[in-house]
Every structure is written in structure tokens, then in C-alpha cells.
Amino acid sequence: MAAARSPRGRRVTSAPRPLPLPARSPRVRCGAMRPLTEAETRAVFEKLGRYIGENIQLLVDRPDGTYCFRLHRDRVYYLSEKLLKVATSIPRDNLVSLGTCFGKFTKTQKFRLSVTALDFLAPYAKYKVWVKPGSEQSFLYGNHVLKSGLGRITENTAQYQGVVVYSMADVPLGFGVAAKSTQECRKVDPMAIVVFHQADVGEYVRNEDTLT
Amino acid sequence: MAAVRVEEVLAAAEEQEAEKRRSITVEKELELEFDLGNLLAVDRNPPAAAGLRGDVPRREALLRALARDNTQLLVAQLWELPAERAGGAGGPLVARLPEPAFRLPREKPPPRPRPPTRWEQFARLKGIRRRKRTSLVWDEEAKEWRRRWGYRRAGGDPARAWLAEVPANADPEEDQFARLRREKRERVARNELNRLRNLARAHRAGTAVPAAPLHPTGHQSREELGHVARVARVSTASLGRFQPRLPKEPAEPPSRNGGKKRRFEPLLGNLAAERSRQLELLRDMGSKKPVLDITRAVNKQLRQEEAEAAAAKGKKQSKRGKRGRRQQRVGRSSKRGGARRQQQQRPASSSSSTAGGGKRKKA
């Protein structure tokens, strides 16, 4: 940087040029980890409630420890208090994930549940769907469940009710939305969709790099 | 509010306690001078000289009696003022003081003039005087008077300058535009540095830092004036807590952030409170569910009836615009299959195809 000279011949150095900042990811809106606001909590609970109903309070109020939800880079994480205290010591740019990611908030502030929440949805699910062994793989590839692949379904499932999908061996495969109520499932033809696919454990392999 | 005369009240109370209370009448040769706005009473009576020369306890007693008498007279004057009940009927009696007449001397010394800046020293030395610049400059190319700087300045828009000559002594490979930008940046930075240095020098010398940005110039924007007004409001002894608002000034709620962006709960705040809040939220959410379902069912039933009526008559209904638009939206998002949308569509599906289509054609 050139040093200018004042009329008296004294060196006058100008202010130093600002250092080039490291490149940041473009969509970091609020980088800090923070608790959910009232509206965000409501959105998350509404979404969770579609699958597990009033069992959410078993998630919120656990006998074996204090667990909480935290928002980090638009993703909602569920973690214990102990883990949270440890996570506060990691710089926010380096922090990728903490605890269990339940889902993320989209650009328009809608909450999308992801497959990583399955471990918490499966034990508390109210409405379940069992899939025949033949069409398990089809579901794990991301396709909807057809009537021909439907093994069992919980009684009085309403239409468009959130359901958790299991294999016949009671292994949770993912979750989705019931396309038909239980009564209609009995009457409909074998090629009709009965469960809309939303998330499955195959995503762990398919979307390996985008899951946190 | 009517002024309450309390002298009668005082005299009545006096008569009841005449033995215990001291006399409230004070005899003075010269009347005291009162400035009730400052709660000031000036006693020009010469004190008893013998008493002041005596020993300390007698002097103390004399001074105390003098103070008591003068205070009595001042308080008597205060009771003469027009008074009112503050805060309604049961509130305390408050006297309305007149404007203060006595000019109090300064508490702190007057501010010293700030030390001259480096440029001012240099200018004084060289005898350079400030020349008033004209606001408009004659522009040869445009053949008119243009501003010296700013919008449509004389000399053209600097951002559009397409030619930058390479000076004779410069490196031919150097980027002249980059050089001009860099030099401008350096000039700005140097000016800013010098301004801050001058401020620091004034601050170190103990003089009042020039509050130039706080004085009205006539060229300030709305935000600047708002900021200045806020600073002025806070610059009182009570930090603006008892400052009345101007007629059109909006009532500003105290922002703990100081105008920064929105505030969230602390990260490691009270987790038990957070948990209880979430449980309460869950309870509220859970309790409302059946009510909404009934409403939805009723609405669905009504719409079904309306759709049937519309199909039977074949005339346009009032709600068709919404149904037509809803029909369009279904086509876009097929996967989500929201319960509400599909349920509303199905009863209306028989008639909305014609009705919605009719509305769309018209639009």
C-alpha cells in the first residue's frame, strides 16, 4: 500500500485494508444456535403430533434427563442438556450437527420432518402400517406403498393421517401419510397408492451427503 | 381544579394542639425575599452580633433558631400557593411552584474551546483563509450550471468514466481504474483517520467533544434527526425517564437491544421453564383439536349443500371464485395431499369443474 506524504513531508499511512474474510456458506441466515421461538415450536409440535399425537410430552418431559430442542442453521435438533452444554463450546461455523436432527425449516418457515427422527417416532407412533416383504425394497427406494404391498394397517386410520411404516418383522422403515382410510384400503384395487412416501431409511444411503 | 385554601385547616389544627406546637408566627424587621420556584428565601436581617461571637453551643442554638424561623416563613409562603390534588381525589396535595427567578450559578466550569486541528494550525501559520465555494459550477460539455458534487454533477458521472489516461511516469501494465479506486479509498480512509485523531485530541485535552452531528444543519435525513432527537431525550439528569414526549413523537417502547435485530431466548436458559412452557403449549394445542374438527365438518356440509344447489340451478354462486382458485391449486401440489384441501375439493368436484371453468373464462 502506498504511503502518502503530507505537505510537510511527514508519512501519513492510511487505514489498513480489511482482511479478506473466509468464504461462508451462502444461506447462513442466523448462524447462532438458539432455542425455538413460540411459532417454531408450534410448527414442530404440530408436525410431530401428526405422527405420535399426544405422546410428544413423553419426548419433552423425559424421566431420564432434560432434553431440549435447539435450532442451528434452520435445522431442529433434539439433544440432552449435557450434550447441549458441551456443544456450546464449538464455534458455530464448525458445528455441523448435534444430538438428533428432527427436521429443518424451509425458506418459507415450514417444518419438514426428516428420516433421522424415525428413532423417536417409531416407539410412540399411533397409526402404523406394515409392508409386505416384497415391496419393502420398493418403499426403501422412495416409492409409495401400493395396496398390493400393504400387509397390515392400524384400525380407524383416517385419510391423510401421518403413519409410520414398518416391515413385517416390526422394523421401522420410514414414515408417510395414509392416502386412504382403513375402510377404503379394503375396497380399493391393488395398484392404488395407500401410503404416500415421506421418508425412509434408504435415504441414509441415497442422501448421505445432505443428511445431518 | 379549584385551589384549596389550607390556611383555615392549619389554624383549626393549631387551635387543637396549641400547647404542644410552637408558634408559627415569626417576627422579622425586614421581610424575607422569596423565590419559590427555587424554594429560596433570602433573609436580609442582620443577625444578633452578640450571639454569633459567643461560645459554640450558644451559637449553634442561635443559628438553629434562625434556620427554623426562616424555614417556617418559607413554608408559610408555600402554603399560600395554588395547590391541587395530584392523582385524583385521594392523592397528595401538590403546590404549583412559579417559575424560578433567581439564576443559579454554573455547577461545572464552562467548556473550554477545543484545540485546533492539524489543518487549522497549518492554515493559521500559512495565513490560509476559508473561501466560500459556490454551490454550482459551470459545466463546459453540458453548457449549463451543474452541482459541484452529487446527482448530475459537473464533469459527468464518475462511475461512467470510460477513459483513464496512463500518466507518463506510470507502469504501462498497471490498471488505472483500479489505481483510481484504490486512491479514492485511501483518501477516504485517511480523512476518516484524521477526523478521529482530531476527536481524540479534543477528548484528551478535556474539552467538550464537538457535537457537530447533533446540531441541526438542515441537510439531515429523517433517520439522523430521529437519532439526534433520541440522544437529546436521553441527555438529561434522569437519562430521559421523565422527559415528556413532543406532540407528534411516537411513544417508544424501551428496546433492550438498543435497536439491534430481534432477540431470542438465551441458549442455556432455564431448561425447566422451557420444558413447562412447551408442555403448556402442547396442552393448548391438544385441547383445541376437537373444536376445529366440528367446524370443518359443518363447513364441509354447507359447501356440499351449496354445490348441489349450484349444480341444480346452474347459476353462478358467490363462493365460486374461491372454489375455482382452489381447483387450480390442487393441480400444482399433488404429493402433499393436505386433508383440508382434498376434503373441500371432493364434494365440490362434481360442480366446480363447470363452475370454476366458467369463472376462469370470465376472468
- Own/partner pairs for B201-208, CB < 8 Å, 24+ apart? B201/B115, B201/B117, B202/B114, B202/B115, B205/B112, B205/B114, B205/B115, B206/B112, B207/B111, B207/B112, B207/B113, B207/B114, B207/B115, B208/B111, B208/B112, B208/B114
Contacts of A96 (CB under 8 A, 6+ apart): A212
DSSP-derived secondary structure letter, A18: P
Phi-psi region of A125 (alpha: psi -120 to 50; beta: other; left: phi over 0): beta
**pLDDT tens digits for range B276-312:** 999 998 888 877 665 456 667 777 888 898 899 989 8
Among B278, B281, B283, B342, the strongest candidate for a mutation testing the A interface, having the largest count of A CBs within 10 A, is B278
Contacts of B245 (CB under 8 A, 6+ apart): B251
Give the Å distances, CA to CA, from B13 to B5, B10, B17, B68. 14, 5, 6, 20
If residue A197 lies in a helix (H) or strand (E), which one and from where to where?
A: strand A193-200
For residue B238, give the 3-state DSSP assignment.
coil
Handedness of CA A59, A61, A64, A68 (dihedral sign): positive
Nearest CA in chain B to A181: B339
Do β-strands A150-153 and A145-146 pair in parallel, antiparallel, or remain unpaired?
unpaired
Give the Å distances, CA to CA, from A211 to A32, A40, A90, A116. 20, 21, 20, 8
Residue with cell 431470542: B264
pLDDT exceeds cutoff 70 at A18: no
ipTM over 0.85: no
CB contact under 8 A, A14 and B286: no
In terms of pLDDT, which residue wins out, A112 or B6? A112
**pLDDT tens digits for range A149-195:** 999 999 989 899 999 999 999 999 999 999 999 988 889 999 999 99
DSSP string covering B90-121: TS-EEE------S-PPPSSPPPPPPPPPHHHH
**pLDDT tens digits for range B142-197:** 899 999 988 888 888 888 889 998 999 888 888 999 999 999 999 999 999 998 99
Average pLDDT value for chain B: 79
In the chain, the amino acid numbered B241 is R
What average pLDDT does this structure show over B82-102?
87
Phi-psi region of B73 (alpha: psi -120 to 50; beta: other; left: phi over 0): alpha
Among A14, A29, A37, A42, the strongest candidate for a mutation testing the B interface, having the largest count of B CBs within 10 A, is A14
A5-19, A35-49, B66-80, B202-216: which range is least confident on average? A5-19
What is the reported pLDDT for B336? Answer: 47
Q: Does B268 touch chain A (CB under 8 A)?
A: yes
CB atoms within 10 A of CB A41: 21
What average pLDDT does this structure show over A16-45?
69
Cβ atoms of B36 and B97 closer than 8 Å: yes
**CA–CA min distance B339, chain A (Å):** 6
In terms of pLDDT, which residue wins out, B360 or B102? B102
What is the reported pLDDT for B325? Answer: 53
For residue B217, what pLDDT band results from cuts at 50, 70 and 90?
confident
Cβ atoms of B148 and B137 closer than 8 Å: yes
CA separation for the pair B96, A61 (Å, rounded): 61
As a dihedral over the C-alpha atoms of residue B132, residue B138, residue B140, residue B146, rounded to 10 degrees, the angle is 110
Q: Does B278 touch chain A (CB under 8 A)?
A: yes
What is the reported pLDDT for B226? Answer: 81
Q: How many C-alpha atoms does B314 have within 13 Å on its Cβ side?
A: 0
Q: Does B342 touch chain A (CB under 8 A)?
A: yes
How would you label B279-303 residue by residue, b for 16+ Cβ within 10 Å and e otherwise?
eebbeebeeeeeeeeeeeeeebeeb
Of A15, A34, A196, the CB nearest to B193: A15
CB contact under 8 A, A12 and B265: no
pLDDT exceeds cutoff 60 at A25: no
CA separation for the pair A44, A37 (Å, rounded): 11
What average pLDDT does this structure show over A83-104?
93
Handedness of CA A68, A72, A77, A82 (dihedral sign): negative
The grid coordinates of residue B323 equal 372454489
Q: What angle do CA B183, B189, B195 make, to 5 degrees?
A: 135
**pLDDT tens digits for range B345-356:** 444 444 444 444
Of A8, A60, A196, the CB nearest to B278: A60
The grid coordinates of residue B291 equal 373444536
Q: What are the strands, taking DSSP E only, across A22-127? A: 34-35, 67-72, 75-80, 100-105, 111-113
Q: What angle do CA A12, A16, A20 make, to 5 degrees?
A: 160
Nearest CA in chain B to A193: B335
Using a CB-CB distance cutoff of 8 angstroms, which residues of chain A are in contact with residue B193?
A: 14-15
Of B264, B269, B282, the CB nearest to A56: B282
What is the reported pLDDT for A207? Answer: 92
For residue A108, what pLDDT band results from cuts at 50, 70 and 90?
very high
First-residue to last-residue Cα distance in chain B: 66
Please choose, from the candidates A27, A189, A46, the residue with its C-alpha nearest in 3D space to the C-alpha of residue A112.
A46
What residue ranges define each of the domains in chain A, with the CATH number in brackets?
Answer: 34-120 (3.10.450.220), 127-206 (2.30.130.10)
CB contact under 8 A, A160 and B285: no
CA separation for the pair B307, B31 (Å, rounded): 96
**pLDDT tens digits for range B52-82:** 787 888 889 888 989 999 999 999 999 999 9
CA separation for the pair B100, B18 (Å, rounded): 35
CB contact under 8 A, B267 and A15: no
Q: What residues does A27 pair with on adjacent strands?
A: none
- Which residues from A are below 8 Å from B when comparing CB atoms? 1-2, 4, 7-8, 12, 14-15, 32-35, 37-38, 41-42, 45-46, 49, 54, 56-57, 60-61, 66, 68, 70, 81, 84-85, 88, 158-160, 177, 179, 196
**CA–CA min distance B326, chain A (Å):** 18
Using a CB-CB distance cutoff of 8 angstroms, which residues of chain B are in contact with residue A58?
A: none
Nearest CA in chain A to B184: A14
Of A34, A45, A54, the CB nearest to B267: A34
As a dihedral over the C-alpha atoms of residue B147, residue B149, residue B154, residue B157, rounded to 10 degrees, the angle is -130
What is the reported pLDDT for A123? Answer: 93
DSSP-derived secondary structure letter, B153: B
Please choose, from the candidates A125, A207, A203, A134, the residue with its C-alpha nearest in 3D space to the C-alpha of residue A167.
A134
What average pLDDT does this structure show over B88-99?
87
For residue A6, what pLDDT band results from cuts at 50, 70 and 90?
low
For residue A22, what pLDDT band results from cuts at 50, 70 and 90?
very low
Using a CB-CB distance cutoff of 8 angstroms, which residues of chain A are in contact with residue B335?
A: 196
Using a CB-CB distance cutoff of 8 angstroms, which residues of chain A are in contact with residue B346?
A: none
Please choose, from the candidates A206, A106, A124, A138, the residue with its C-alpha nearest in 3D space to the C-alpha of residue A172.
A124
For residue B333, what pLDDT band results from cuts at 50, 70 and 90?
very low
The pTM of this model reads 0.44
What is the reported pLDDT for A28? Answer: 44
What is the reported pLDDT for A27? Answer: 44
CA separation for the pair B111, B143 (Å, rounded): 50
